[in-house]
Amino acid sequence: MAHACGFTFHGERPRYWLATLPHPYTEQTAREFVRSRWLGESLGQAVTWAAADRDDDRLLAKVAVFRLDDVFNPTGGEIGYWAHPDARGRGIVVEAVDLVVAHEFSPVRAGGLGRHRLQIGAAWSNAASRQVAERAGFTFTARYRQDGVIGYGEGRTLDDGAGYERLATDGSSRASRTSGVRSRRG
């Protein structure tokens, strides 16, 4: 996974949307990222999945649910995701998010996490990320003015944020299940 993370975060596009991403993003940086996911899981703060290609097991995307330890919303969480360049525009992240949401909303007694509310935040100008949220059945709830930094170097700027949410009672997603992904905890 670390090698694939290093490849995924190499280039201009990831640096633009993930303004706090270390540069250069080395394989060592990726290993530290993976270790931090393990720590978050062991502390009950987050759960992370890798979406792998069904045919060759290549990492195509990562989906995480974090803020699982929020004392003000103890059965909520926030979803974050990214896609490997080979996966972009193929519906893979939407399918992976849909699978993660189903797990998060499933009762604990059935092996899920028993969450009642999930949210997604995206940069207002990140049309691809916003489209994932919408196609995965999340409802647009708010535009947050000057919510976060995007870009790098001289191009660093504040962008508005888009907020989305989905409740366990909202029903299933409209996402299709045809992208050829299998999800596994990472």
pLDDT digits (tens, 9 = 90+) for 19-70: 777 777 778 887 887 888 888 888 889 999 999 988 998 889 999 999 999 9
Contact assessment for residue 58 and residue 52, using Cβ atoms and an 8 Å cutoff:
yes
**CB count in 10 Å sphere of residue 4:** 17
| Alpha-carbon gap, residue 147 to 141, rounded angstroms | 14
* pLDDT number for residue 27: 82
Contact assessment for residue 67 and residue 43, using Cβ atoms and an 8 Å cutoff:
no
* pLDDT number for residue 47: 94
Mean pLDDT of the chain: 86
Question: In this structure, what is the dihedral angle of CA atoms 45, 134, 73, 68, given to the nearest 10 degrees?
Answer: -10
147 has pLDDT over 50: yes
Contact assessment for residue 9 and residue 30, using Cβ atoms and an 8 Å cutoff:
yes
Q: What's the predicted TM-score (pTM) here?
A: 0.83
Contact assessment for residue 104 and residue 112, using Cβ atoms and an 8 Å cutoff:
yes
* pLDDT number for residue 13: 78
Query: What is the DSSP pairing of strand 46-53 with strand 117-123?
Result: unpaired
174 confidence band (pLDDT: 50, 70, 90):
low
Bigger pLDDT: 112 vs 11: 112
165 has pLDDT over 80: yes
